[in-house]
Amino acid sequence: MGENITRKIIGAHRLSGEMTPGSEIGLRIDQTLTQDATGTMACLQFEAVGLDRVQTELSVSYVDHNTLQMGFRNPDDHRYLRTMAARYGIVFSPPGTGICHQLHLENFARPGKTLIGSDSHTPTAGGVGSLAMGAGGLSVALAMAGEPYTISMPKVVRVQLTGRLSGWAAGKDVILELLRRLTVKGGVGKVFEFAGPGVASLTVPERATITNMGAELGATTSIFPSDERTREFFRIMGREDEWTELVADADAEYDETIEINLSDLEPLVAQPHMPDRVVPVRELAGLPVSQVAIGSCTNSSYADLKTTVQVLQGRRLPPETDLLVSPGSKQVLKMLAAEGLVEPLLDAGARLLECSCGPCIGMGGSPVSQGVSVRTFNRNFEGRSGTKDAQVYLASPQTAVNLALAGKFTDPAEWGAAPERVELPQTAPSIRHLFIFPPENGSDVEILRGPNIVPLEKFDALPEVIEAGVKLKVGDDITTDHILPAGAQITALRSNIPAISQYIFSRVDEQFVPRILEAGGGIILGGENYGQGSSREHAALGPRHLGVRAVIVKSLARIHRANLVNFGILPLLLVRPEDYDRLEQDSELRIRTAAIAPGATFEIEVSGAESVDVTNDLTEKELNIIKAGGLLNFVREASRA
């Protein structure tokens, strides 16, 4: 039987486990990436392991999230990351160089390699055939230390592409179509592997847009073959020697198949406040647009911005619509400048922002009150833009710029002829000299820490019995933005767990922190898909610091579940969803943890009421990690044994 690409890469990196869907497997990790928002903690965790140098083929530390340097905290973090990288053998990408995924795609991603990154959009590198997964910062720290990365063996879904994109349809519309069909839960436990005759028609940046936003499906990752188009991309990036072909065998088998005819696609848009609330753009014609933002790791490539300029060329934006443009990297900006494409952007009235995440993470660019913002990003959760009552829509650059010019949603039939799809120029300027490569031996490098960088606390082991109250009851689809809001003031505290913990659930219930601190700990009760959204591990670390020992939910998002395990919080699943209604905030619970077995159902005693049945989907190893008080304790204990 032939192999698909996913199984080929997993097979070549598997250190333990069986390759049957759902089995736990340990993978050797070739590359890691971190970004500053999660990376400072990952670096503190790597230091806590006590090794002299990273053990991966390549680890890169990017600064792209909190690039605003208002006050000492962010610059102190950047200096810590730079010196830490030099000390331990990590490549450092300074603030302003670009967005981690765009930079990694251009400079470091390689076909057939395994990559984990402390950012949920790490699958962007799947655009060139890397098996690239988002992970918690601690998992990345341990991969840097040479530990295997554990996942459950995914099902592989073949996304059979036929036809070719035409008119105003873009790569973004392929992934919006998948989100429309499958929803934000449709990819859990799956890898989306793209195949079929339509693949060859898609450029690498288009492929990367698609794999980037596969994260919104909840997928383990998404991946494209590495073919002649990929080779051409590597040649233009000046690293053809790093290219290898990687295609599925002709008789490869897949667990499921989905078909998309690219020729049938039209411009689509995701409506507030979920990436899967997708409708055709034409259906919203007439809705005024107050802001348009083009950029983010999803759509900030040279092709995305050149298309934007081609549509703007010689025209002026209406005064009521603000257009923000963030190039994905300095390479993108240099290519635009070389072709004289920056000037028309400025002349149209657009605002050119730094090469960073910027408005995507709420670093500037907030919309007006009740404003409608059309963004080329991957997420539109409520409040993420920095304006609580803003309505954020997600669309391709082609769509976004047309709406910016009209100042409202219009029918694509009125946009005139679409420009030709943009290909990369024959050569691209290198920005490799902007990365700071580590010395061969960094043992003399002094690591500089500011006062905001607080060493990690050592957490206790799980007690044999948890006796605690439900200190917060929340509904369905709680995101990590609900658990720990983003924004400059809060994320600047990311290396200071006691300080950042004060913001846990602060926008859901201001009394949560005082309540749980007064009780000396507690339990959180949640609905479906608890913890979806970004990979930020502070959404688990913060609650753990406050004394949360268990979350009881109807269902859990994948990366947040892993973060809960990593920090020693017990994730329990209600056997009967209706029991959610029987449990209240302040219900007093008794959980006998010593009795928990992997996958087994057991009873939780409820003071003054009937007990409820819960189950778990934990493996034996995960259970032992939680019992040890978290993964760092577990690894330290294992290395002592």
Tell me the closest approach of the beta carbon of residue 96 to ligand F3S, in angstroms: 14
Pull the structure tokens for residue 538. 């502070």
Please list the residues that pair with 551 across neighbouring strands: 524, 571
Q: Which is nearer to ligand F3S, 480 or 555 (CB)?
A: 480
453 binds ligand F3S (CB under 6 A): no
Q: Which is nearer to ligand F3S, 31 or 378 (CB)?
A: 378
Which residue carries 């109807």 as its tokens? 554
In the residue annotation, 119 being an active-site residue is answered as yes
CA-to-CA separations, 374 to 182, 269, 359, 509, in angstroms, rounded: 22, 9, 12, 29
Q: Which is nearer to ligand F3S, 160 or 495 (CB)?
A: 495
CA distance 199 to 224: 8
In the residue annotation, 251 being an active-site residue is answered as no
CA distance 604 to 624: 20
In the residue annotation, 389 being an active-site residue is answered as no
> In the chain, what is the straight-line distance between the N-terminal and C-terminal CA atoms, in Å?
42
Half-sphere exposure of 26 (CA within 13 A, CB side): 11
Reading phi first (left if > 0) and then psi (alpha if -120 to 50, else beta), residue 362 is in left
Tell me the closest approach of the beta carbon of residue 356 to ligand F3S, in angstroms: 8
Judged by CB under 6 A, the stretch of 73-81, 357-365, 396-404, 569-577 that binds ligand F3S is 357-365
| Residues 370-389 as x/- pattern, contact with ligand F3S by CB under 6 A | --------x-----------
Judged by CB under 6 A, the stretch of 150-158, 333-341, 353-361, 475-483 that binds ligand F3S is 353-361
Tell me the closest approach of the beta carbon of residue 23 to ligand F3S, in angstroms: 30
Tell me the closest approach of the beta carbon of residue 184 to ligand F3S, in angstroms: 15
| Residues 459-498 as x/- pattern, contact with ligand F3S by CB under 6 A | ----------------------------------------
Pull the structure tokens for residue 129. 């055939």
Q: Is the dihedral of CA 279, 283, 285, 287 positive or negative?
A: negative
| Residues 104-123 as x/- pattern, contact with ligand F3S by CB under 6 A | ---------------x-x--
CA-to-CA separations, 243 to 107, 159, 232, 313, in angstroms, rounded: 12, 23, 9, 36
Tell me the closest approach of the beta carbon of residue 641 to ligand F3S, in angstroms: 38
Degrees (nearest 5) of the Cα angle 533, 537, 540? 95
CB 630 within 8 A of CB 568: yes
| Number of helices followed by number of strands (H, E) in the chain | 21, 26
CA-to-CA separations, 370 to 120, 348, 506, 568, 617, in angstroms, rounded: 28, 25, 21, 40, 41
361 binds ligand F3S (CB under 6 A): yes
Catalytic residue among 65, 78, 545, 561: 65
Q: Which is nearer to ligand F3S, 278 or 297 (CB)?
A: 297
Q: Which is nearer to ligand F3S, 120 or 391 (CB)?
A: 120
Which residue carries 């219900």 as its tokens? 587
Tell me the closest approach of the beta carbon of residue 377 to ligand F3S, in angstroms: 6
CA distance 248 to 341: 39
**Nearest by Cα to 278 from 364, 140, 394:** 394
**Nearest by Cα to 474 from 559, 393, 543:** 543
Judged by CB under 6 A, the stretch of 71-79, 96-104, 171-179, 254-262 that binds ligand F3S is 96-104
Judged by CB under 6 A, the stretch of 95-103, 218-226, 229-237, 576-584 that binds ligand F3S is 95-103
CB 494 within 8 A of CB 37: yes
Tell me the closest approach of the beta carbon of residue 310 to ligand F3S, in angstroms: 23
How many angstroms separate the most distant Cα atoms in the chain? 73
Of 42, 58, 99, 606, the one binding ligand F3S by CB under 6 A = 99
CB 210 within 8 A of CB 192: no
Tell me the closest approach of the beta carbon of residue 122 to ligand F3S, in angstroms: 9
CA distance 273 to 392: 7
The 3-state DSSP class for residue 484 equals: coil
Catalytic residue among 59, 61, 130, 534: 534
Catalytic residue among 104, 158, 482, 536: 536
Q: Count residues near ligand F3S (CB under 6 A).
A: 13
Catalytic residue among 7, 82, 104, 379: 379
Judged by CB under 6 A, the stretch of 21-29, 171-179, 356-364, 502-510 that binds ligand F3S is 356-364
Residues 6+ apart with CB under 8 A from 340: none
Of 59, 74, 230, 296, the one binding ligand F3S by CB under 6 A = 296
Binders of ligand F3S in range 540-579 (CB under 6 A)? none
With b for 16 or more beta-carbon neighbours within 10 A and e for fewer, the 491-505 pattern comes to bbbbbbbebbbebbb
CA distance 593 to 624: 11
CA distance 1 to 236: 36
CA distance 460 to 636: 13
DSSP 479: B
CA distance 476 to 517: 25
Q: Which is nearer to ligand F3S, 418 or 493 (CB)?
A: 493
Catalytic residue among 64, 77, 477, 481: 64
Pull the structure tokens for residue 552. 């009881």
In the residue annotation, 411 being an active-site residue is answered as no
Judged by CB under 6 A, the stretch of 99-107, 337-345, 443-451, 512-520 that binds ligand F3S is 99-107
Which residue carries 């009150």 as its tokens? 369
Tell me the closest approach of the beta carbon of residue 458 to ligand F3S, in angstroms: 30
65 binds ligand F3S (CB under 6 A): yes
Q: Which is nearer to ligand F3S, 324 or 628 (CB)?
A: 324
Give the Cβ contact number of residue 144 at 10 Å. 27
Tell me the closest approach of the beta carbon of residue 65 to ligand F3S, in angstroms: 6
Q: Which is nearer to ligand F3S, 114 or 298 (CB)?
A: 298
SS3 content of the chain, % helix, strand, coil (to 5): 35, 20, 45
Judged by CB under 6 A, the stretch of 44-52, 98-106, 171-179, 184-192 that binds ligand F3S is 98-106
Tell me the closest approach of the beta carbon of residue 295 to ligand F3S, in angstroms: 7
Q: Which is nearer to ligand F3S, 361 or 573 (CB)?
A: 361
Tell me the closest approach of the beta carbon of residue 361 to ligand F3S, in angstroms: 4
Binders of ligand F3S in range 314-343 (CB under 6 A)? none
* Interface contacts to ligand F3S, rule CB under 6 A: 64-65, 99-101, 119, 121, 296-297, 357, 360-361, 378
Q: Enumerate the active-site residues.
A: 64-65, 119, 379, 534, 536
